[in-house]
Chain A
Amino acid sequence: MEQVVANGVYLGAQYALIALGLTLIFSLMNVLNFAHGQMYVLGGFITYLVYGRLGLPFVLALFASGATLAIVGALVEKLLFRSVIRRSLREESTMLLAAAIAFFLDAVILLLFGEKERGVPKIVNGVFISDALIMPYDRILIGALALAFILSFMLFMQYSKPGRAMRALAQDRVAAQLMGVRVDRYSMIGFALGAMLAGVVGGMLVVITGVNSGIGGPISIKAFMMVMIGGAGVVGGAIAGGFILGMMESVGLSVLHAYGDITYLVIFTALMVFLSLRPQGLMGKPWG
């Protein structure tokens, strides 16, 4: 049981970071970022390149992943989303753009890194063993790192000036603009930050699970689910959603193992029932 819980917490911390980026972008721009999973994969490959191939320190690789994705995110917002949002008659059009960007990143990743599964050397060796718990040290380290990132993200959103500006934007775009918040600038920063989070998680997980070019889509779907569980556009909701999904996966894999590969079927069905009872998720505003 302790093992299941520990796995759940470890998974949940990763998931929560992915969901945070997605929900941040959604709350600022009302854009459902279909390319989030692809951004995650790109981050994973950059860490693979810097740490695995060039042999530079892991921290530097993580930094490179985050920085690259932040630039990608900022460019995508400034060059693409901004103009489409301004000129389109219906705001759903951004979904086509997001899906096209997802295809584009998929193609770029495939061309640059090929379709092979890539892994990197372990950052720390050894396994923590006690009576109830077996956990490799690198998982513990990555889990702790993820928790630290979540905490610093929350502090940043709560106390820094850009964080306050972004929260104001998410609450009411027009009112924030009237109060002198530079909407365009903070939308770009927010998009860059969201993309950066995806890249950083990708970089961290490549150490444990490796990375391949095909997992972007499934990761996006998982991220959507976490955001839905917690409520779209709410920081606390994304964190809760991430941990809940991580826990459900961990419990499901150990309990439902006997019935075959139905963990995800059960989770999806439970989610649909949950959402029909509580459409806005755990903490979301009604109608997003």
Chain B
Amino acid sequence: MRKLGAAAAGLAVLLVGVPWAIAATGRDDLYYTLTSVALLSIASAGVWLTFFIGRINIGQGAYALIGGYVAAILVVDYGLSFWLTLPLAGLFCAAASILIGLPILRLRGVYFAMVTLVLTEVVRLLALALPITNGASGMVNIPLPGAIRLFGITIVPDFAKLRHPHLAFYIVSVLLMALCFGGLYRLVHSRVGKLCRSLQQNEELASSIGVDIAWLRVLAYAVSSFLGGVGGAVFEAISQSIYPSSFTVTDSVNFMLNCFLGGLGYVFGPMIGTFVLYFGWDLLFQTGEYQLLIYSTLLIALMLFLPNGLLSLLPVARQSET
């Protein structure tokens, strides 16, 4: 109950407090940054889930790209509503990840990591080569999300007619993020979650006492890719464009770094990690040409002094390590 209260309070701060603070200070540009953090943390949450079953996933950029393209193609070529394409993009990614995952989830350790890294490149090259994705010039001028009406009542207004589409996207992203991490928390603390944890420790042992490891890891990978696809689809809607270079190997590596930085043992690690990494990078922008140097030095220092992630600083979290 206390946890539920804390979550509700956190959500209230994000949905009411942050817009109020932004309106008071007039820093409208922060909406875009915060929206990006929310969306990237959704994709990172997927990567975290694959870490949870003991796999290093450097392929989330592939699914984010697929999700973005699926949503874009459905909206532009087939005229579907954005709100419908959002789950469809996620489901498409999940289906693709089951096909891809069945063979490659047999790999472990660095082998899996390297195959997923290559997967990111494959999808980027596919996006360049396929006719439907319009090659290197990408897809641009994708319409903004339309309205949702139910029995004549407007539930979600048309984004194109809003005065502050940035605020609307921010709220959508925060809600999605809350949904994603709430679901992830439930999943990790459910029976399936405990079984997943047994995979992380020892797959053979888990298998020998009757855990269906093949099914579990495909399931976890599909959920992970679903989150990647949804994140990519919303990203595409905000920028109203998608290119083969929208999500590359660097993004895949960053998704993984977000998880590491927050701490692999904590469900909310990817959220904290994404926030710190993204804002840290933005803040360092003022240092000009030394941006990358300072950023990477800080990363190395963090790794030296906090090798188990930022959240390992919390005394409470240390007791209930997951």
Contact = CB atoms under 8 A, between A and B. Distances in A.
A22 B293 CA distance: 24
B250 A217 contact: yes
Tell me the interface secondary structure of chain B in the complex: helix
A264 B109 contact: no
Contact of A100 (B100, B115, B290, B303): B303
Q: How large is the interface on B (under 10, 10 to 19, 20 to 34, 35 or more residues)?
A: 35 or more
A239 B11 CA distance: 54
B114 A32 contact: yes
Contacts of A77: none
Interface string B257-269: 1001100110000
A110 B292 contact: yes
Interface in A185-242: 217, 221, 224-225, 227-228, 232
A104 interface: yes
A272 B299 CA distance: 31
Contact of B114 (A93, A97, A228): A228
A31 to B, nearest CB: 9
Interface string A237-280: 00000000000000000000000111011001101100111011
Contact of A265 (B113, B122, B304): B122
B107 A96 contact: no
A93 B260 CA distance: 7
Contact of B129 (A80, A260, A280): A260
A89 B265 CA distance: 9
Interface string B162-191: 000000000000000000000000000000
B253 interface: yes
Interface centre among A93, A110, A260, by most chain B C-beta atoms within 10 angstroms, is A93
Nearest to A288: B109
A78 B1 CA distance: 48
Given A88-B307, A287-B108, A221 B296 contact: no
Interface string B104-138: 10111111011101110110011011000000000
B51 interface: yes
Interface residues of A, number: 49
A281 B115 CA distance: 12
A261 B135 CA distance: 11
Contacts of A280: 111
A96 B303 contact: yes
B117 A104 contact: no
A104 B300 contact: yes
Interface of A: 26, 32, 34, 80, 83-84, 87-90, 92-93, 95-97, 99-101, 103-104, 106-108, 110-111, 217, 221, 224-225, 227-228, 232, 260-262, 264-265, 268-269, 271-272, 275-277, 279-281, 287-288
